[in-house]
Structure 1
Amino acid sequence: MTEILQTPKLVVVFGGSGFVGRHVVRALAKRGYRIRVACRRPDLAGHLQPLGNVGQIQPVQANVRVRWSVDRAVQGADHVVNLVAILHQSGRQKFSTVHEFGARAVAEAARSVGAGLTHISALGADLDSGSDYARTKALGEKAVLETIRDAVIFRPSIIFGPEDSFFNRFANMARYSPVLPLIGGGQTKFQPVYVGDVAEAVARSVDGKVDGGQIYELGGPKVLTFKECMEELLDVIERKRLLVPVPWWVANMQASILGLLPNPLLTKDQVMQLREHNIVSDAAAKANRTLAGLGIQPQSIATILPSYLWRFRAAGQFQQRKPAA
């Protein structure tokens, strides 16, 4: 009797060429899925090809602000993953168009082809937030659940990993600056989560192992203040720098100027976000809507940071680590 081979599921990943995207694509490729990476510049997505077998990963052009391109990208999809987000506004890339309009466009396109949906939001998403980023993230979640009631939504805290824009940025700053700023005194709490753990959660949702219609909050194993994050970073790169508290009003003044740069180091909206803690809520923890609830053991920054921040040490990979006190 001839055995009929089943074609692997087709997963469309919007924003799959970015920091989180490449790890999600890797996790899906390991499972044998066919992957279509929808991104604005598919010509710059060549780094994804080695993550899978020949022909397994296909970059295609799509822009969540352009609805017809979204509809075209999801044709034949079994599952859709939306990772698209921006940290600051520039040109036509606005929070409302990317986080809200884009989220609804992807959800409606997924519904039109009968595909499942996994949507990445962010801890701190709040319809009543004074931050445009946090408010539009919440509006995006609302649009997704209104469109596909059994969609899976993940809210990660600050995501760290080899290409992150948080620890890498401050570690690079520490190479040249004798001081590191602590916005608002550095007492804002974070729960940094490893990008590989977030990717595994997404992959499990595609596997059908995550209950839909729920919002899951993803945080690492340890809650750290902004100041403690900087201390951990400096310990890893073995540099001594002065940590200087920056009052909120001074941070707002600095953000007003820095926010005018093409790739700003700080914006007023980010200062607003830093006024709120970025940790998993008690409600999510009690309901088991966390990494642990998904059966994933979160990895700590102490384990992962040395694997990629070594290049910011004075002698890079050749510097010998000092023995622990």
Structure 2
Amino acid sequence: MTSVIKVPPLVTVFGGSGFLGRHVVRALAKRGYRVRVAVRNPNIAHHLQPLGNVGQIQAVQANLRVRWSIDRAVQGADHVINLVGILFESGRQSFDAVQDFGARAVAEAARAQGAKLTHVSAIGADPQSSAAYARTKARGEQAVLETVSDAVIFRPSIIFGPEDGFFNRFAAMARLSPVLPLIGGGHTLFQPVYVADVAEAIARSVDGQVQGGRIYELGGPETLSFEGCMKKMLSVIGRKRMLVTVPWSLARLKASFLGLLPKPLLTTDQVEMLRTDNVVSQAAVQEERTFAGLGIAPQAMDAILPTYLWHYRPSGQFTQPNAA
């Protein structure tokens, strides 16, 4: 009698080499899935290999602007995850191409393959938004649900964790500058969410534990203003800095110049996004389309920020918080 070896399901992850992607790949690998990481440049995805067993994680080339590469990346997949998003436009990497048409292309490829689909958007996605980022995120969501009606869509707030682009950026700025800017007065509200918690939610959708055809909003347990986030970060790194209000008009003017840089510190589109609070909606809370509905207790910033922001302290790990 011959035994039949059951092959683990295959999950294709678009954008799996990024900040959120590596945590998603780790969560999937721990569960035993085979993971195909679809990225524009597989040569920069080697850091993912140690997250799984030998041969469990494979990087392949794919570009959301090239349809045949998407079809090839999802071939044989049981589940497809799209994490791809951009914060600023560069060359042919436009918001429309990546977050609207790209999202539809991935959804169409998943449907053709008969694979389940999980799509990551962002809180603030709104077809009527003044920010192109938010408009294209909303159109991407619509395209996904029109194409794969039982797709799972996640909208996280600002994601924090090692190598994030938010707290790390301002902590690095605080190490060099005596002042930090508060755009529009720093009143915009955020609900920062730990990257591993978002990855866990995504992995549970692959497990089949998340109801499809719904949009889930993921926010952390604490809601803070932009100013509050800066004060918490400064407390963690043990530095005192002056927080200076930058009026909307001046912020937009500065962003018009900074946005010309190859990797801009601020763009006019980002200034527009800051005009709207980035928190979980009451509708999502009432309908249990949040972490609570997924059975996940999100971790607090106080438990995580010190584990990776310590190297911004005056004496690194030897500086006690609030010592400066």
Deviations along 1:152-194, one digit per CA (max 9) or x if unpaired, are: 0000000001011000000000000000000000000000000
Q: Structure 2 CA distance, aligned partners of 1:8 and 1:75?
A: 15
Q: Structure 2 CA distance, aligned partners of 1:235 and 1:204?
A: 34
Q: Structure 1 CA distance, aligned partners of 2:322 and 2:228?
A: 20
Deviations along 1:84-119, one digit per CA (max 9) or x if unpaired, are: 000000111000000001000000000011000000
Q: Structure 2 CA distance, aligned partners of 1:217 and 1:298?
A: 12
Match of 1:222 in 2: 222
Amino acid corresponding to residue 10 of structure 1 in structure 2 = L
Match of 2:66 in 1: 66
Q: Once the 2 structures are TM-superposed, how far is the Cα of residue 6 of structure 1 from its aligned partner?
A: 1.5
Structure 1 segment 305-324 matched on structure 2, within 5 A: 305-321=305-321
Deviations along 1:204-241, one digit per CA (max 9) or x if unpaired, are: 00000000000000000011000000000000000000
Q: Structure 2 CA distance, aligned partners of 1:269 and 1:322?
A: 35
Q: Structure 1 CA distance, aligned partners of 2:220 and 2:43?
A: 34
Structure 1 segment 51-90 matched on structure 2, within 5 A: 51-90=51-90
Match of 1:191 in 2: 191
Q: Once the 2 structures are TM-superposed, how far is the Cα of residue 321 of structure 1 from its aligned partner?
A: 3.9
Q: Structure 1 CA distance, aligned partners of 2:113 and 2:91?
A: 32
Tell whether 2:243 aligns with 1:243.
Answer: yes
Q: Once the 2 structures are TM-superposed, how far is the Cα of residue 255 of structure 1 from its aligned partner?
A: 0.4
In structure 1, the residue corresponding to 2:182 is in which secondary structure? strand
Q: Once the 2 structures are TM-superposed, how far is the Cα of residue 53 of structure 1 from its aligned partner?
A: 0.4
In structure 2, the residue corresponding to 1:154 is in which secondary structure? strand
Match of 1:38 in 2: 38
Q: Structure 2 CA distance, aligned partners of 1:77 and 1:21?
A: 17
Query: Contact (CA 8 Å) 2:188, 2:225: kept in 1 or not?
Result: yes
Amino acid corresponding to residue 304 of structure 2 in structure 1 = I
* TM-score scaled by length of structure 2: 0.98
Query: Contact (CA 8 Å) 2:237, 2:321: kept in 1 or not?
Result: no
Match of 1:232 in 2: 232
* Structure 1 outlier segments of 4+, above 3 Å: 320-323
Match of 1:181 in 2: 181
Q: Once the 2 structures are TM-superposed, how far is the Cα of residue 253 of structure 1 from its aligned partner?
A: 0.7
For structure 2, the residue ranges without an aligned partner over 5 or more in a row are: none
Amino acid corresponding to residue 170 of structure 1 in structure 2 = F
Q: Kindly, what percent of the aligned residue pairs are identical?
A: 71
Match of 1:117 in 2: 117
Amino acid corresponding to residue 189 of structure 2 in structure 1 = K
Q: Structure 2 CA distance, aligned partners of 1:159 and 1:5?
A: 39
In structure 2, the residue corresponding to 1:54 is in which secondary structure? coil
Match of 1:101 in 2: 101
Q: Structure 2 CA distance, aligned partners of 1:322 and 1:263?
A: 32
Amino acid corresponding to residue 313 of structure 1 in structure 2 = R
Amino acid corresponding to residue 56 of structure 1 in structure 2 = Q
* TM-score scaled by length of structure 1: 0.98
Match of 1:205 in 2: 205
Q: Structure 2 CA distance, aligned partners of 1:255 and 1:270?
A: 8
Q: Structure 2 CA distance, aligned partners of 1:269 and 1:111?
A: 32
Moved more, 287-296 or 2-11: 2-11
Structure 1 segment 264-275 matched on structure 2, within 5 A: 264-275=264-275
In structure 1, the residue corresponding to 2:175 is in which secondary structure? helix
Deviations along 1:109-162, one digit per CA (max 9) or x if unpaired, are: 000110000000000000111100000000000000000000000000000010
Q: Structure 1 CA distance, aligned partners of 2:80 and 2:114?
A: 10
Tell whether 2:156 aligns with 1:156.
Answer: yes
How many equivalent pairs are there? Answer: 323
Q: Structure 2 CA distance, aligned partners of 1:320 and 1:282?
A: 38
Distance 1:260-1:322 versus aligned 2 partners, 3 A rule: closer
Q: Structure 2 CA distance, aligned partners of 1:168 and 1:85?
A: 19
Query: Contact (CA 8 Å) 2:238, 2:320: kept in 1 or not?
Result: no
Amino acid corresponding to residue 53 of structure 2 in structure 1 = N
Q: Once the 2 structures are TM-superposed, how far is the Cα of residue 322 of structure 1 from its aligned partner?
A: 5.1
Match of 2:254 in 1: 254
Query: Contact (CA 8 Å) 2:124, 2:278: kept in 1 or not?
Result: yes
Deviations along 1:55-102, one digit per CA (max 9) or x if unpaired, are: 000000000110000000000000000000000001110000000010
Match of 1:263 in 2: 263
